[in-house]
């Protein structure tokens, strides 16, 4: 009997060890060591003549994590590292491309086991604050003020800042969020691009009458449904009610009118069949929403502007012929009462690079930090890098790039982005991590008609209050 008890104990022990026993295993370090070429011998660097810290001439190794596992992003970030190592042959950058899916968890594991990379990418928002508070992010406010850097747009600087401290260098471009639509279907049915929510509903009804699904949405991913919620809140109340709910002060709550309005609107739309059947089991990771757009069963899709390069990569000809874009329509009632209608959803930095350069005793490793700063501001974000990004449909978060854009949809998205009075970062990046989880579940329940807008508002309030207390 005793032996049996022991074996049972061991069997269930395996469960627990699943948690503690994990380590960061699967990363395949990809050192780009072949990069030392001619420019090094001539001594001319692309950073010559700029106001930058003097970098060490001693050997130095920097580990960098990004999530660019696929081209064109991959060769672009590798190119930046190569150019840097060519100019500074004594510095080795160990660049690791992590899988996006589990990246946040990988990073947490690496940090907790003392294996955190010296430079890592992230989406800003709540997690960035968490990294900083835990001592895995250098404050670069002074360096940024003292040395040269690309002329980032203000919103990008704002999103790289937490508590008045600059913590990241943007590198993956502006992302807007707008409604992509099938121009052919619209012109066949004689539909106009809607400018108010009433007009939008009118368009939806007409599409529905023709048997076409108005919105393609894959809500298994949850952040996709959140886009509708965010926009309806923003159109109904600008930033005011969300900002209040975020602090939970002065009566701010996720049950305030704009949130109820957004929730009710969404559920009304679900009931009217504006979204595909089984919306909660379609996943945006597999591009199942795009698929509905492709085969003509759906006519519109509210999504991030990365869809431009995505759809283009799938079939450029089809894209040019069929895809147009318009901004989320205005709430005419709210507009009449003076609510700004130009708050947009999106991100001004895409992703940022944050530095984690500390010595064993916890003091800042300035030598390494200088090198990281030069790498991130001068090789990432240099002309070669930016132009490569630009040519694939991503707009760098740097002033001036919004000028000559040739893709009309991208041009439209970026213009709206710059016209915005405020760019609200995605809730699921902006909110604290524990609230994000609740918010995402609420989106499932909202679109699945399982809970009322009031109920999900209360749940989000509760999570927010708990997170604020910590």
CA-based nearest residue to 304, from 174, 468, 203, 161: 174
- If one asks whether residue 21 binds another protein (CB under 8 A), the answer comes out as yes
Among 433, 452, 454, 455, binds another protein (CB under 8 A): 433
CA distance 227 to 87: 43
Tokens found for residue 157: 């600087």
Q: How far apart are CA 455 and CA 282, in angstroms?
A: 24
Burial of 118 (0-12, 13-18, 19+ CB in 10 A): buried
**Which of 44, 436, 442 lies closest to 267 in space, CA to CA?**
442
In sequence order, the β-bridge partners of residue 165 are 162
**Residue of 2, 18, 337, 338 interacting with another protein (CB under 8 A):** 18
| Binding segment toward another protein, per CB under 8 A, in 148-156, 187-195, 419-427, 442-450 | 442-450
Is residue 347 within 8 A of residue 159, CB to CB? The reply is yes
Would you count residue 17 as binding another protein (CB under 8 A)?
Answer: yes
131 binds another protein (CB under 8 A): yes
How far is Cα 61 from Cα 63, in angstroms, rounded to an integer? 7
Considering only 8-16, 319-327, 344-352, 422-430, which stretch makes contact with another protein by CB under 8 A? 8-16
| Structure-token pair, residue 57 | 């001439």
Residues sharing a CB contact under 8 Å with residue 23, sequence separation 6 or more, in sequence order: 109, 113
Using rule CB under 8 A, residue 139 touches another protein: no
Q: Is 111 in the site for another protein (CB under 8 A)?
A: yes
Contact call for residue 41 and another protein (CB under 8 A):
no
Distance (Å) of CA 271 to CA 268, 440, 448? 5, 20, 10
Considering only 38-46, 252-260, 335-343, 437-445, which stretch makes contact with another protein by CB under 8 A?
A: 437-445
Sign of CA dihedral 386, 392, 397, 399: positive
Number of chain positions touching another protein (CB under 8 A)? 55
Minimum CB separation from another protein for residue 450, in Å? 6
| Distance in Å, CB of 415 to another protein, minimum | 33
Least CB distance to another protein at residue 16 (A) = 4
Q: How far is the CB of 438 from another protein (least distance, A)?
A: 10
- Using CB under 8 A, which residues numbered 409 to 428 contact another protein? none
List the interface residues with another protein, window 263-302 (CB under 8 A).
276-283, 286, 288, 291-292
Closest CA to 186 of 171, 200, 170: 200
Compute φ and ψ for 93, nearest 5 degrees. Answer: -105, 120
Nearer to another protein, 240 or 291 (CB): 291
When binding is defined by CB under 8 A, the residue of 117, 442, 460, 461 that contacts another protein is: 442
Instruction: Kindly state the smallest distance separating residue 295's Cβ from another protein, in Å.
Output: 9
Residue 135 sits in the site that holds another protein (CB under 8 A): yes
Is 11 among the residues that bind another protein (CB under 8 A)?
Answer: yes
Is 454 among the residues that bind another protein (CB under 8 A)?
A: no
Element (H, E) at 214: strand 213-215
Q: Which residues bind another protein (CB under 8 A)?
A: 4-5, 8-21, 104-105, 108-109, 111-112, 116, 127, 130-131, 133-136, 219-220, 222, 276-283, 286, 288, 291-292, 433-434, 436-437, 441-442, 444-445, 448, 450
């Amino acid at each position: 009997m005793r032996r049996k008890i022991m074996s049972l104990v061991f069997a269930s022990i395996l469960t627990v060890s699943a948690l503690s026993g994990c380590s960061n295993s699967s990363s395949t370090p990809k050192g780009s060591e072949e990069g030392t070429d001619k420019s090094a011998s001539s001594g001319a660097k692309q950073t010559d003549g700029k106001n930058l810290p003097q970098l060490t001439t001693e050997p130095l190794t920097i580990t960098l994590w990004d999530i660019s596992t696929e081209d064109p992003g991959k060769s672009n970030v590798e190119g930046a590292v190569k150019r840097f190592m060519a100019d500074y042959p004594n510095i080795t950058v160990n660049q690791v491309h992590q899988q996006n899916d589990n990246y946040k968890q990988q990073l947490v594991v690496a940090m907790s086991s003392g294996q955190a990379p010296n430079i890592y990418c992230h989406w800003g928002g709540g997690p960035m604050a968490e990294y900083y508070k835990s001592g895995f992010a250098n404050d670069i406010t002074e360096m940024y003020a003292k040395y040269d850097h690309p002329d980032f747009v203000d919103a990008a600087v704002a999103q790289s800042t937490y508590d008045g401290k600059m913590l990241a260098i943007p590198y993956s471009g502006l992302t807007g969020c707008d409604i992509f639509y099938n121009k052919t279907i619209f012109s066949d049915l004689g539909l106009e691009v809607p400018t108010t929510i009433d007009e939008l509903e009118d368009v939806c009804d007409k599409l529905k009458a023709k048997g076409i699904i108005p919105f393609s949405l894959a809500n298994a991913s949850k952040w996709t449904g959140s886009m509708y919620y965010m926009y309806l809140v923003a159109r109904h109340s600008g930033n005011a009610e969300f900002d209040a709910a975020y602090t939970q002060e002065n009566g701010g709550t996720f049950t305030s009118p704009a949130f109820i309005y957004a929730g009710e609107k969404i559920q009304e739309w679900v009931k009217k069949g504006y979204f595909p059947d089984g919306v909660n089991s379609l996943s945006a990771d597999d591009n199942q929403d795009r698929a509905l757009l492709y085969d003509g069963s759906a006519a519109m899709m509210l999504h991030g502007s990365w869809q431009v390069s995505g759809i283009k990569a799938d079939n450029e000809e089809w894209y040019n012929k069929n895809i147009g874009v318009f901004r989320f329509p205005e709430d005419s009632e709210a507009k009449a009462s003076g609510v700004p209608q130009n708050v947009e959803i999106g991100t001004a930095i895409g992703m940022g690079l944050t530095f984690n350069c500390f010595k064993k005793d916890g003091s800042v490793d300035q030598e390494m930090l200088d090198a990281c700063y030069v790498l991130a501001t001068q090789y990432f974000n240099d002309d070669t890098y930016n132009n490569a990004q630009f040519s694939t449909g991503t707009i760098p978060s740097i002033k001036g790039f919004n000028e000559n854009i040739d893709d009309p949809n991208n041009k439209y998205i970026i213009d709206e982005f710059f016209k915005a009075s405020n760019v609200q970062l995605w809730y699921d990046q902006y909110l604290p991590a524990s609230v994000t989880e609740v918010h995402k579940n609420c989106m499932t329940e909202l679109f699945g008609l399982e809970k009322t807008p009031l109920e999900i508002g209360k749940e989000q309030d509760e999570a927010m209050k708990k997170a604020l207390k910590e």
